[in-house]
Amino acid sequence: MNKIFEVPMYAYSRSPDQDSETPIRRPVVVIGAGPIGLGAAIDLAQQDVPVVVLDDNDKVSFGSRAVCYAKRPLEILDRLGCGQPMVDKGVEWSLGKVFFDERKIFEFDLLPEDGHERPAFINLQQYYFEEYLVNRVTELQAEGKQIEIRGKNKVSAIGAHDNHATLEIDTPEGPYNLEAEWLIACDGARSPTRQMMGLDFVGRVFEDNFLIADVIMEADFPTERWFWFDPPFNKGQSALLHKQPDNVWRIDLQLGWDIDKEEEKKPENVIPRLKAMLGEDVEFELEWVSIYTFQCRRMEKFRHGRVLFAGDSAHQVSPFGARGANSGLQDTDNLAWKLKLVIDGKAPEALLDSYSQERVHGAEENILNSSRSTDFITPKSDMSRILRDAVLDLAETHDFARPLVNAGRLSVPCTYDGSALNMADALDGPECTRPGSPCPDVKLGDDFLLRQLGGEFTLLTIDADAPDLIEEDGIEVTRLALSAKEDTTGALKARYLGDEPSAVYLIRPDQHVAARRPSFDENLFRAAIRRATGKE
Amino acid sequence: MSDLNLQPNIPGADDFYAGLLAAHDGLSKEDSDALNARLLLVLANHIGDRAVLDNAIAVAKASA
């Protein structure tokens, strides 16, 4: 049987652009049909921005690769029309167990608060994720949206200009040229775009190798994240076991630095390692094996004129914490609405600098967290190992040491504290909804707050008066009026009011808070709209 | 912010010190290092105040 990742999903076909005598200029070209490139393209197409996606391949991800998807990216995918298939197919989990040597030292529950539509985490192979995105592209095409994926279109040269970029593209039928008013590079950690433009990518290299194996087996391990420090079957190193759909299990084994990668990848060397972990008599089949090393690094800025970088091309983290694909989707969530406003002439180009500022802030947070996890999991000195082992020994019997155990701080969305788009906080309300925060979900009868917020500017009023519609210099803001008195769960009050009797929030299209006050003030909210769109 | 106390603060200082040494009696270098690390973490958690802890790290670093 062919695996899904062995079948072309967007086979090459000739585009009329290839027969044009002069290069066609497209409003937006995305390089890379991975999760981030497709996410960006779908977001823009839904907002009626015509978009062309170029990919040097024609298939979805080879192997499972990114497998953990957090709540916020699932909420973003809901807005992109792909959240439901992800959750339907994915494996939900919230319980993790931590082992040290031969002992289980403790377990943790990510325990999502009530009143969120989406779970804390699902596990799903990246190839399914990409398949759902490609399906969504097909759906949008059927609705008449201008979105296309061009397989086997490899960009071989890029020219950056003041008001456009030029592309030379190789195809199975020869090269052609294309122009883009805006170019979004989602071409991964080794981004050819970044290299062709000679841009920096600076950070820290971690001298370690990890064997990643997907095995298919009928096993009665529970749906939990199991993490081992220094287990008997991989002495001195770490290991991770995680369940994916279709009885596929993800196994990560730390191998150390000084190894022969090609040798280690051979089934005759992988299988004994897995048997030592799973037991001699467990039947399994290897689906995919890879060896990875990693770096934590980012570009200095994610916008270079008309070229925008998103996902791994802009920033790279260690896999601990699932902060790669999850943060990439938050990049495109931040970028798409801003680019739409700029293309429509409703916001100045400078708004796109806030994309770089806000997402650099997010990348810094992810790099900090994933570097710290890596330092805990793979101690770099004798003393760092002694302290690490002391934490683990104490954690078995003493609660106080458990917060110090760092087997990956799992991805949470970042708050854009200090962003130039925020107004100063004018509500003595909850921390979690201060300006810059991603809106936390709340169950509203049979519906959810995030679904009602959608993807446009919204004025959220809670027990406060305000006009139903404000238009400020081309930006329309519609009101969503709620009352804490009708919310029997108390979550609306807890997350948006605190001790205040009323509140008015200006919420951006990416569902981050731009401003909040106890009541509506026309001048101040008009100023907040201008600020959130880069106009002051 | 509470300050790091760098004045004598342990009644029966000699007894405390003897107890600290006794805890290491008969341990290998490896086990002693591990004991020190656990002790450090227990004490740090008891103090809990990040400013005091940062100050203590700085004092220890400067005293070598």
Residues of B in contact with A386 (CB under 8 A): 33-34, 37
Query: Does residue B50 sit within a domain?
Result: yes
pLDDT at A219: 78
Can you list the alpha helix ranges (DSSP code H) found in A378-501? 382-397, 449-453, 491-492
Find where tokens 């990409």 sit: A130
Whether residue A389 and residue B34 make contact (CB cut-off 8 A), yes or no, is yes
Cα distance between residue A50 and residue A310, in whole Å: 19
Distances in Å between the alpha carbon of A257 and those of A207, A210, A317? Answer: 6, 9, 18
Query: Does residue B6 sit within a domain?
Result: no
**Of A300, A303, A313, A366, which Cα lies nearest the Cα of A338?**
A303
Segments of chain A with pLDDT less than 50: 1
DSSP string, A323-366: -SHHHHHHHHHHHHHHHHHHHTTSS-TTHHHHHHHHHHHHHHHH
> Nearest by CB to B37, which of A387, A398, A400?
A387
pLDDT at A493: 97
Contacts of B20 (CB under 8 A, 6+ apart): none
Residue pair A379/A199 in contact by the 8 Å Cβ criterion? no
Element (H, E) at A42: helix A35-46
Q: pLDDT: is A294 or B21 the higher one?
A: B21
Assigned CATH class of A431-532: alpha beta
Number of neighbouring beta carbons within 10 Å of residue A334: 24
pLDDT at A402: 95
For CATH 3.50.50.60, list the domain ranges present in chain A.
4-90+124-201+299-367
pTM over 0.90: yes
DSSP string, A258-303: S--HHHHHSHHHHHHHHHHHH-TT---EEEEEEEEEEEEEE-S-SE
Residues of B in contact with A387 (CB under 8 A): 37, 40-41
Query: Does residue B3 sit within a domain?
Result: no
- Which residues of B lie inside 8 Å of A (Cβ-Cβ)? 33-34, 37-38, 40-42, 45
3-state SS string for B28-39:
CHHHHHHHHHHH
pLDDT at A1: 43
pLDDT at A513: 98
Domain carrying residue B35: 27-64
Assigned CATH class of A4-90+124-201+299-367: alpha beta
Domains identified in chain B, total number: 1
Query: Does residue B1 sit within a domain?
Result: no
pLDDT at A93: 87
Is residue B31's pLDDT more than 90?
Answer: yes
Query: Does residue B32 sit within a domain?
Result: yes
Interval A233-280: pLDDT, tens: 999 999 999 999 999 999 999 999 889 999 999 999 999 999 999 888
pLDDT at A2: 57
Q: What are the residues facing A183 on neighbouring strands? A: A29, A307
Average pLDDT of B5-31? 97
Chain A interface, best mutation among B31, B33, B57, B61, by max A CB count within 10 A: B33
How far from the centroid of its chain's Cα atoms is residue A405's Cα?
Answer: 24
Distance from CA of B12 to the nearest CA of A (A): 28
Cα distance between residue A469 and residue A462, in whole Å: 16
For CATH 3.40.30.120, list the domain ranges present in chain A.
431-532
